[in-house]
Structure 1
Amino acid sequence: MKVLVIGSGGREHAMVWKLAQSPRVEKIYCAPGNAGIAQIAECVAISVDAVEQLADFVEREQIDLTVVGPEAALLAGVVDFFEERGLRIFGPRREAALLEGSKAYAKAVMMANKVPTAEYQTFTKVEEALRYIREKGAPIVVKADGLAAGKGVVVAQTLTEAEAAVRSIMQDKSFGEAGSQVVIEEFLQGEEATVLAFVDGKTVKLMVPSQDHKQVFDGDKGPNTGGMGTYAPVPKVGAELLRQVEETIVQPIVRAMAAKGTPYKGVLYTGLMLTGQGPKVIEFNARFGDPETQVVLPLLETDLVDAAEAVIDGKLASIDLKWKNGAAVCVVLAAKGYPGPYPKGDRIEGLDGLPDNVAVFHAGTEKKEGQFQTNGGRVLNVVGFGADLRQAKEAAYRGVEQIRFDGMHYRTDISDKALQ
């Protein structure tokens, strides 16, 4: 069969890499893709939200299955458009993807269905938001309501920081229209974890849990990024906790979306805080996480094509998801200055001759005159595999040591929370 993956980052490279392992797949296209993806798929210069162009391409090339990576495509209605044309596509329709597209909407659904989450209020006026912050005190969390590439969240330790965040998001429009409304919520204490799930509208199958590292520097210091690294599995998230997450969070949300007439089909990403009162939802995403996918998909033994088709056909209950033993650790190599402004076009060296237990997924690269160069803030995802987290971490950092580009920076403590 022929498959199209929509997207251009490290997550999509991992998806293409996984799909390429399926005996059912003979050709993969990626729109728009990147220089790393181009090594295993044919990249097509169509942007992720050009839904009509994408559908035309799929019809012209007689592509059997389309798999959506980024949220921008989902919220542009790519799944709705494809389904109206009778094309097979993996991902939620636009209305269901609002669980990610609007934090206020997601909060309202959680509250209505008694899903455990932080106490919150939403605001469209700056003064009202500031008054609420002063009333509640710090630490407190300020979130842009809409899509902000994983960066629209400020965990403010002081009132001054919280007020500055509100002004930056709402007045200065630092995230554009995503900040015309803010969600302000209580600060939850605990450790974060991510649980991805395949969902076919009614049946839920959880994936191996992972843990993202959002802050740019070691020890969770510095500003939030799109994610500086991940590991899977998470020893703290055992079978009993996963059962609790499924029964008190994922199933109620899936039932609620079906009852609204907007059934959820695709991957549901649940970002959790493991609090003293049990797991609470920080956020939902409507797709595979980035960089969580880079450690979760390598551990999936089941053919990804089979899983995706079972979701599309509403037959997920008939599939037995199998997972490999072992662990994966992903370290993100970032450009100088990221998550602030960063240069592009720096030469990347050391990508050849990496050991077998290391995979490199390209996030922001391009190729000029046969040479890979930086072309984004998060440049490369170096993933190490091992029998356990310690071995996986060693493999990942051995891979990192071999790669160089000007101003390259990364965290040295990915997976340490699990190893301590």
Structure 2
Amino acid sequence: MNVLLIGSGGREHALAWKIAQSPRLRRLLCVPGNTGTGSYGQNVPFPLNDSDALVDLAQRENVDLLVVGPDNPLADGIVDHFLAAGIPAFGPTAAAARIESSKAFAKEVMAAAGVPTAQTHVFERAEDALAFARASGQAWVVKADGLALGKGVVVADDLPATLAAIERLAATPAGSRLLLEERLHGREVSIMALCDGQRLLVLPPARDHKRLGEGDTGPNTGGMGVFAPVDDVSPALLDQIVATCMQPVVDELAQRKVPFRGVLYGGFILTEKGPSVLEFNARFGDPEAQAVLPLLEGDLLEVLYECAIGGLHPEKLRRRRGYAVCVVLCAEGYPGKPRKGDPIQGVEALDEEELLVFHAGTQISARGLCTNGGRVLGVTGLGNTLARARANAYAAAERITFEGKHYREDIGQGKDTETRK
């Protein structure tokens, strides 16, 4: 099978690594790919915003399956173009991807499906959102309706912070419509499920760490690290979340004639009244994929293809025993303006059974391997206990060096997201 993988981050490196293990893989093309994906397939420098040209490339290369990593190509309808050309695609159509690309649409779907989620108010104008917040006299979670690279949510602690967040997000491309949402309290969990439009194959639950600093302090980022599985999500609770929060959304979308095929990613908060949805994404999380994919046994490529054609057999993927902890190594300046071009040492020397290093913001230059983005590397440690997995990840993180390197030292340890971000 010839596969075209879209994306260039740590998530795509993890996908390439896992897909390459399939005996069904003949050839892997990565557009545009990165330093890591090039070890498993051919990187093709190609613009992601020209779907027609990508279809032409896929037809020339006899591609049998498209696998989409990032959110923007999904929202822009890349899957629609490939399906129109008769090429199976793992990822939702633009209509189904609105579950992520429009938070207001997601709320509408959840309301219709009876899914528990926070009370929300939607505003077409920032002035109306500001007036509502002032009249309420309280703090709100402020969300931009559109895609914002994981940075379109502000959890305000008081009214002045709420007003400032409204003005800031309204000035971004994603903030033409705004949502004010009640603040919920509890522990968060991320759950990804592969979907063929009807059935779900639920992957091990994970807990990510969004904020820059230890103890969940500082600004939000694209993700500083993640661990899986999450022990406080019992099998019974996982079944409850799927039955009350995920399957109803899949059923509602199917009823609307927009079947969801791809990864349905739910961000949940475990409140005193039970699990509630914070948001849905329409693709693998990053860095969540870098911890969850190593915990799977079986042929991922075969299952992705089955989802794409609407014939998922959930038993073909199994969860292996043990834990995974991914620690993200960041460049100086992240999450603001990260510095690029700093040489990276120590990656080549890491060759251990319980360790994986996924490339994100790196490049090969005349100086060797160098930084080329904010989140530079994802270092994933594996182990039969969470403590062993953490130890493996942090030992490797310390051995990798580059100027300005910084990372959180509390991934998978201590107080984990007691209140929603």
The TM-score, its normalising length taken from structure 2, stands at 0.96
What CA distance in whole angstroms lies between the structure 1 residues aligned with 2:72 and 2:54?
A: 14
Structure 2: distance between partners of 1:123 and 1:165: 14
1:166-195 deviations in whole A, cap 9, x for unaligned? 11111xx2x32x111111101110111101
Structural RMSD (CA): 1.5
Q: Show the 5 A alignment for 1:288-299.
A: 288-299=284-295
Matched, 1:309 2:279: no
Matched, 1:381 2:363: no
Pick from 342, 366, 376: which aligns with 2:363?
366
**Which whole-Å deviations, capped at 9, do the CAs of 1:356-395 have from their partners, x for residues lacking one?**
3111111111110261111111111000010111110000
Which residue matches 1:116? 116
- Provide the rounded CA distance (Å) in 2 between the counterparts of 1:154 and 1:163: 11
Q: Judging changes above 3 Å, is the alpha-carbon distance between structure 1 residues 358 and 240 closer, same or farther for their aligned structure 2 residues?
A: same
Looking at structure 2, the residues matched to 242 and 42 of structure 1 have their Cα atoms a distance apart, in angstroms, of 38
Give the counterpart letter for 2:80 in structure 1.
D
Residues 222-275 of structure 1, C-alpha deviation per residue, up to 9 Å, x if partnerless? Answer: 111011000000001110111111110111101100111101111100001111
> Could you tell me which residue of structure 2 aligns to residue 20 of structure 1?
20
Query: Aligned match of 2:413 in 395, 412, 416?
Result: 416
1:393 corresponds, among 387, 390, 411, to 390
SS in 2 for 1:219: coil
1:375 partner letter: N
TM-superposed CA distance for 1:23, in Å, is 1.5
Amino acid aligned to 1:379: V
Name the SS for the 1:416 alignment partner.
Answer: coil
SS class of match (2:246): helix
Code of the residue aligned with 1:71 in structure 2: it is D
Match of 1:204 in 2: 200
1:268-283 counterparts in 2 under 5 A?
268-283=264-279
Match of 1:340 among 331, 336, 339: 336
Q: 1:142 corresponds to which letter in structure 2?
A: V
Q: Output the amino acid matched with 2:406.
A: H
Report the counterpart of residue 126 of structure 1 in structure 2.
126
Cα deviation code 1:81-118 (max 9, x no counterpart): 10110112111111000000000110111112210011
Gaps of 5+ in 1: none
Q: Structure 2 CA distance, aligned partners of 1:303 and 1:320?
A: 7
Question: Which residue type is aligned with residue 36 of structure 2?
Answer: G
Report matched runs for 1:10-409 at 5 Å: 10-170=10-170, 173=171, 175-176=172-173, 178-317=174-313, 319-354=315-350, 355-369=352-366, 371-409=368-406
Paired with 2:302 and 2:294, the residues of 1 have a C-alpha distance of 15
Higher alpha-carbon deviation: 190-199 or 38-47: 38-47
Aligned counterparts of 1:409 and 1:318: Cα–Cα separation in 2? 39
CA deviation profile, 1:135-178 (whole Å, cap 9, x unmatched): 334442101110000011111112111111111111xx2x32x1
Task: Tell me the CA shift for residue 313 of structure 1.
Answer: 2.3
Deviation, 1:418, is 7.9
Deviations 1:258-296 (A, max 9, x none): 111101111100001111111111110001111100011
Q: Deviations over 1:17-59 (max 9, x none)?
A: 0011111113211000112222222110112232112111111
Query: Counterpart amino acid of 2:115?
Result: V
CA distance in 2, matches of 1:240, 1:139: 34
Tell me how far 1:309 sits from its aligned partner: 1.6
TM-score (norm 1): 0.96
Identical-residue share of aligned pairs (%): 48
Letter aligned with residue 134 of structure 1: R
Return the letter of the residue paired with 1:203.
R
- State the one-letter code of the partner of 1:400: A
- Counterpart CA distance in 2 for 1:358 and 1:191 is 28
Partners of 1:47 and 1:112 in 2: CA distance:
37
Shift in alpha-carbon separation, 1:403–1:296, aligned structure 2, 3 A:
same
Q: Is the 8 A contact 1:48 1:72 kept in 2?
A: no
Determine helix, strand or coil for the equivalent of 2:151: coil
Aligned pairs, number: 416
User: Which of 345-354 and 214-223 deviates more?
Assistant: 345-354
Tell me which moved more, 342-351 or 394-403: 342-351
